[in-house]
Amino acid sequence: MLRNEQNELLTRTGPDTPFGNMFRCYWIPALLAGELPANDCPPVRVKLLSERLIAFRDTEGRYGLMDEFCAHRGVSLWFGRNEECGLRCSYHGWKYDVTGQCMDMPNEPEHSAFAKKVKLKSYPLVERGGVLWTYMGPPEQQPPLPEYEFAMVPAAQSYTSKRLQECNWLQAMEGGIDSSHVSFLHRGDINTDPLFKGSRGNQYNLGDLRPVFEVVESAGGLFIGARRNAENGHYYWRITQWVMPSFTMIPPRGNHAVHGHFWIPIDDENCWAWSFDYHPTRTLTDAELSAMRDGKGIHARVDANFRPLANKDNDYLMNRAAQKAGTTYSGIEGFAMQDASIQESMGPIVDRTKETLVSTDSGIIMARQRLLRAITAFAQQGVTPPGVTLEHQRVRSAAIVLPPDQPFKDAAREALIAHPGVAPASV
Amino acid sequence: MVSESARMSSAAEARFRIQTPPPTNRAVKMIDLDAASDSDVMRVIGEIDDTDLVLMVVRAGGNTAAVSAIGTACSDLRVMTHTVVIRDAASSDAALSKTLGEVRPWSLMVVVVGRRDYVDDILRSFR
């Protein structure tokens, strides 16, 4: 459990909140590159960290992300005309470039210098790995571009999707580091989903429903090791990575692609669940890509606004017969919506003062405490939080079988670092 | 028509959640293995019958001599064991590995942290 003030601190990420200020130390995913597919294409509304923004791609291919509303009368620039290297408001023709600088005010005298004095708040928007990333902190403290491995491999080796999740970012992220729920909530899918089935590790997963955990602080966050019994007294370890503030990476299975998430606040009651799949050493097959686009694995089928087709308005397409038959454990289909349905049911912001945590929640407990310490250190002393440094981002999850006396922190040390071109440690 | 899930997960409905946390009366015993005397260990073992969770704290490279006795007693009585290993700046990697090897057979949860004050946070999390 947390005290109410701690829960407030961890769940509020708007401008000028302590965690909002710290979240703005990081590059975060803002859009899929495909949302701005061509020069002068329609602009896209974006809300991140409780700020309403507009994204556009200008005539020369430059990306812009700025205040959604025209400085003149507060009109949404979503109605604007994206033309001739700027976004022009449809109301009175004020025009802005990708930095938010007003370039033209047709309702002022010709050659008036006033336009130069008007600049909308804007943030950098940069493509890497099929994702448009933004940095919303002070320009003088902008860190280097992120180097998470999924965004660094060739495009044919990676696939990324996003979906709306209608709850606070933290309860969504905590699902990503809660290894003990997999044996229950996702039990029905491990052996049937095309992006999971067939690995030896699945049998260990399903054969031992009481994993034992070791949580180890890492430089950027946590290693969360779940161990299950394997043959000959050995242990099957699944080691999840959490990198602050909201990157999680699920241990791989067999030769399947490796996957993970970013959980990014839209506002305090909604977040984007970013889901990526990649393989460090091979291209993804047509069958894999087809399955990912079809919402298999950790992805979901979504509408044009990235809202899942199974959502709270249709009770997530609850199927009690499938639940009864054991085809799915909760009656909801697919890993992504199994998680989302459960987490949204907790309410817009779950009240953590009333939880009854147990020892297997230690990953969650430690993540909260690391975040709280980092927020305080940043607010009081300006200490750069973990996860900003590129070295903290060059990580991998791992699945490995070890003798009982061997700590995963030693045996999997190299496997937990992203080495380009080296296959992941997987069972 | 609004679905049951949409209505019940709204902020408006959240205020109707029962406000009183469910009682747990969880009994937690904490023992600092580096500082514990033999009598401390015997006292904890004697009290395990009325305990839900035993939290053992030890420095990396510290004194784990009592872990097996406590762990065996907990195992016999089906009591949860949770060990926090403190890896401070002076601890070597080899010392941490050795300690992990010693506590792992007797711990259903192991957490490795860099600061001792995490122990208080962990205890506070277990209402």
- DSSP letters spanning A71-127: TTT--BGGGSEE-SSSEE-TTT--EE-TTSBEEE-TTS-TT-SGGGG-B--EE-EEE
Mutation target to probe the B interface, by most B beta carbons within 10 A, among A179, A214, A353 is A214
Whose CA is closest to A339, among A310, A305, A369, A367?
Answer: A310
- pLDDT on residue A372: 97
Distance between CA B55 and CA B123 in Å, rounded? Answer: 9
Q: Answer whether B9 touches A (CB < 8 Å).
A: yes
CB contact under 8 A, A362 and B111: yes
For A244-278, write each residue's pLDDT tens digit. 999 999 999 999 999 999 999 999 999 999 999 99
For residue A25, CA distances in Å to A21, A146, A272, A282, A376 come to 7, 12, 18, 33, 14
Residue of A nearest to B8 (CA): A345
Kindly state the tokens that stand for B103. Answer: 């506590």
Q: Which of B2, B17, B126 sits opposite A357 (nearest CB)?
A: B126
B71, B106 in Cβ contact below 8 A?
A: yes
Looking at residue A165, its pLDDT comes to 98
Q: What is the largest CA-CA distance in chain B?
A: 67
Q: Do B125 and A405 touch (CB under 8 A)?
A: no
Q: Can you list the residues of chain B whose pLDDT is less than 70?
A: 1
Which pLDDT does position B90 carry in this prediction?
87
- Report pLDDT digits (tens) over A69-98: 999 999 999 999 999 999 999 999 999 999
Residue B30's DSSP bridge partners are B55
Question: How many Å separate Cα B118 from the centre of its chain?
Answer: 11
**Closest CA relative to residue A212, chosen from A230, A228, A231:** A228
Residue A214 pLDDT greater than 70, yes or no: yes
Please identify which residue in the block is written with the tokens 């510290």. B62
Which of A64-68, A332-336, A355-359 is predicted with the least confidence, judged by mean pLDDT? Answer: A355-359
CA B5 vs. chain centroid, Å, equals 35
What is the per-residue pLDDT across A394-412, written as a single tens digit (0 to 9) for each? Answer: 999 999 999 988 889 889 9
SS3 state at B115: coil
Bridge partners (DSSP) listed for residue A23: none
Q: Give ipTM to 2 decimals.
A: 0.92
Q: Is the pLDDT of residue A49 over 70?
A: yes
CB contact under 8 A, A348 and B10: yes
Q: How many CB pairs under 8 A join A and B?
A: 114
pLDDT of residue B1: 66
Nearest CB among B8, B93, B108 relative to A359 is that of B108
Beta bridge partners of A362: none
Residue A101 banded pLDDT, cuts 50, 70, 90:
very high
Q: What is the pLDDT of residues A114-126, one digit of tens each?
A: 999 999 999 999 9
Going by pLDDT thresholds of 50, 70 and 90, the confidence category of residue A210 is confident
Chain B residues closer than 8 Å to A345 by CB: 5, 8-9
Contact at CB, A369 and B104, closer than 8 angstroms:
no
Q: Which of B14, B100, B113 sits opposite A347 (nearest CB)?
A: B14
Of the residues A180, A229, A358, the best mutation for testing chain B's interface (the one with the most B CB atoms within 10 Å of its CB) is: A358
Which of B11, B112, B127 is the closest to A356 by Cβ? B127
Residue A377, number of CB atoms within 10 A of its CB: 15
B108 close to A (CB below 8 A): yes
pLDDT value at position A409? Answer: 87
* Chain B residues inside the 8 Å CB shell of A222: none
Tell me how close the Cα of B74 comes to any Cα of chain A, in angstroms: 14
Average pLDDT over residues A33-47: 98
- Assess A167–B contact: CB distance below 8 Å, yes or no: yes
Say if CB A157 and CB A284 are below 8 A apart.
yes
Backbone CA torsion sign across B57, B60, B65, B71: positive
The order of strands in the sheet holding A63-67 is A44-48, A51-57, A63-67, A122-123
For A1, the closest chain B residue by CA position comes to B125
Average pLDDT over residues A308-313: 97
Contacts of B112 in chain A (CB under 8 A): 214-217, 409
pLDDT of residue A110 exceeding 70: yes
- Partners of A242 on chain B (C-beta within 8 Å) are none
Disruptive mutation site among A312, A320, A353 for chain B (greatest number of B CBs within 10 Å)? A312
Please name which of A54, A426, A385, A421 lies closest in space to residue A247, comparing C-alpha atoms: A385
A 333-352 residues with CB < 8 A to B:
341, 344-348, 351
Q: Are A195 and A297 in contact (CB under 8 A)?
A: yes
A202 interface with B at CB cutoff 8 Å: no
Contact A404, A236 (CB under 8 A): no
Of A241, A263, A264, nearest in space to A252 by CA: A241
Distance CA B19, CA A73 (A): 45
pLDDT of residue B77: 95
The verdict on a CB contact (< 8 Å) between B110 and A369 is: no
Q: Which residues are registered as beta bridge partners of A213?
A: A226, B109
Contact map slice: A 260-289 vs B, CB within 8 A? 269
Out of B4, B82, B101, closest to residue A407 by CB: B101
Which of B 27-86 lie inside 8 A of A, CB atoms?
Answer: 53, 80, 82
Residues of B in contact with A353 (CB under 8 A): 21
Mean confidence (pLDDT) of chain B: 92
CB atoms within 10 A of CB A413: 12
Determine the distance from the C-alpha atom of residue B40 to the mean position of all C-alpha atoms in its chain, rounded to a whole number: 18
Arithmetic mean of pLDDT over chain A: 96
Distance CA A138, CA A127 (A): 20
For residue A206, name the pLDDT band (cuts at 50, 70, 90): confident
Contact by Cβ (8 Å): A87, A95: yes
3-state secondary structure of A296: coil
B110 CA: distance to closest CA in chain A (Å): 5
Phi, psi values for residue A248, rounded to 5°: -130, 145
pLDDT tier, A190 (very low <50, low <70, confident <90, very high otherwise): confident
Q: What is the reported pLDDT for B23?
A: 79
Contact B80 A215 (CB under 8 A): no
Please answer whether residues A275 and A250 qualify as being in contact, where contact means their C-beta atoms are separated by less than 8 angstroms: no
User: Which of B78, B88, B109 to mutate against chain A (most A CBs within 10 Å)?
Assistant: B109
Q: Do B22 and A409 touch (CB under 8 A)?
A: no
